[in-house]
Chain A
Amino acid sequence: DTAVSQTPKYLVTQMGNDKSIKCEQNLGHDTMYWYKQDSKKFLKIMFSYNNKELIINETVPNRFSPKSPDKAHLNLHINSLELGDSAVYFCASSQGISEAYEQYFGPGTRLTVT
């Protein structure tokens, strides 16, 4: 009965490849997020979707393309992977955007680009 799940947990790939990370939440939340946590543990928001609509895009390179097929799923596709993309990517969800709510994080996907 995991609230927010991500796959895969680990991803090792070479520069130039394209990869996807999937996220699902079973909390009935309206809003989902992607965060990047770098090697210094800094957590930075990348994207946010509310009811399948993109509402936040934090100057992320065009190589990153999120997709929300429905409000329970938010996937992240990355083209032409670079060394600097190595990080832990967290998906999160919250009740909505009408006011600030607790964000529930997924287990993270550790991406290593070689």
Chain B
Amino acid sequence: GENVEQHPSTLSVQEGDSAVIKCTYSDSASNYFPWYKQELGKRPQLIIDIRSNVGEKKDQRIAVTLNKTAKHFSLHITETQPEDSAVYFCAANTLQGAQKLVFGQGTRLTINP
């Protein structure tokens, strides 16, 4: 089945700097790659997603890139702010059997003021 690996598990950056989180997936049929942000004690919420027919998508300070050949995708956050501190999860859908999302292990991002 689908396997999603996420790195790093923890990331600490200075406010204003950029943060990059990387994920790899195993199922070449996957075609949907969302990123969720989970603040402490809260629910995961979608911040950006990308489908396999595009290589990059941007929404203000957040961007996601996808390399289908290498089967990896990345989240880029620019001009980081303290409110960006959270756990970030990547995910990929699997089309083997019923469609579902397989999540990466999560990255705890800390923005230092």
Q: List residues of A whose CB falls within 8 A of some B CB.
A: 33, 40-45, 48, 50, 55-56, 90, 97, 99-100, 102-103, 105-108
5 A-B Cβ contacts within 8 A? Answer: A33-B100, A40-B105, A45-B101, A48-B98, A97-B98
Interface residues on B, range: 20 to 34
Please give me the 10 A-B residue pairs with the lowest Cβ-Cβ distance, nearest first. Answer: A100-B32, A105-B43, A100-B93, A55-B98, A43-B103, A41-B106, A56-B98, A102-B46, A105-B44, A97-B99
Q: List residues of B whose CB falls within 8 A of some A CB.
A: 31-32, 34, 38, 42-46, 49, 51, 87, 89, 93, 97-103, 105-106, 108
Main secondary structure of the interface of B (DSSP, over half): strand
A42–B105 CB distance below 8 A:
yes
Bound-state CA distance A106–B42 (Å) is 9
Task: Name the distance in Å between B30's Cβ and chain A's nearest Cβ.
Answer: 9
Collect the chain B residues with CB atoms within 8 Å of residue A105's CB.
43-45
Bound-state CA distance A103–B38 (Å) is 13
Task: Name the distance in Å between A6's Cβ and chain B's nearest Cβ.
Answer: 9
